């Protein structure tokens, strides 16, 4: 599959922020505070953030060559901080 390119803090942020976006957009849409299309777009963005945090892979990071995941060392004596 895909190599993970999203690190620990980044993953937690994506998971929590994605859930928050979906909940807030759903509530705001249900109450009629925001237009339905805007609620739909925000919900899709929240789901995308949640999925990238869950799987540890971000396609935009791949396009721009960014990697926040900590590489795993093959040598047990070599610790990466």
pLDDT at position 80 over 80:
no
Return the pLDDT at 40: 94
Residue 11 in any domain: the answer is no
- Closest C-alpha among 15, 4, 10, 6 to residue 51: 15
Return the pLDDT at 70: 79
- Name the residue range of residue 59's domain: 18-64
Judge residue 60's burial from the number of C-beta atoms within 10 Å of its C-beta, 0-12 exposed, 13-18 middle, 19 or more buried.
Answer: exposed
- Decide: 69 and 12 in contact? Cβ < 8 Å: no
pLDDT at position 15 over 70:
yes
Q: What is the tally of structural domains in the chain?
A: 1
pTM of the model: 0.79
Residue 26 in any domain: the answer is yes
pLDDT tens for each residue of 25-34: 999 999 999 9
pLDDT at position 47 over 70:
yes
For the ranges 31-35, 49-53, 67-71, the lowest mean pLDDT is seen at: 67-71
Judge residue 26's burial from the number of C-beta atoms within 10 Å of its C-beta, 0-12 exposed, 13-18 middle, 19 or more buried.
Answer: middle
Residue 39 in any domain: the answer is yes
Largest CA distance in the chain: 58
Query: What is the rounded average pLDDT for all residues in the chain?
Result: 87
The CA angle 37-55-58, to the nearest 5 degrees, is 65
Residue 54 in any domain: the answer is yes
């Amino acid at each position: 599959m895909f190599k993970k390119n999203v690190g620990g803090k980044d993953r937690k942020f994506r998971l929590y922020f994605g859930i928050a976006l979906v909940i807030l957009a759903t509530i705001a849409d249900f109450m009629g505070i925001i237009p339905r299309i805007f609620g739909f777009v925000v919900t899709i963005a929240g789901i995308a953030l949640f999925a990238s945090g869950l799987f540890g892979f971000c396609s935009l990071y791949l396009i721009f060559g960014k990697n926040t995941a900590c590489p795993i060392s093959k040598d047990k004596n070599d610790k990466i901080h």
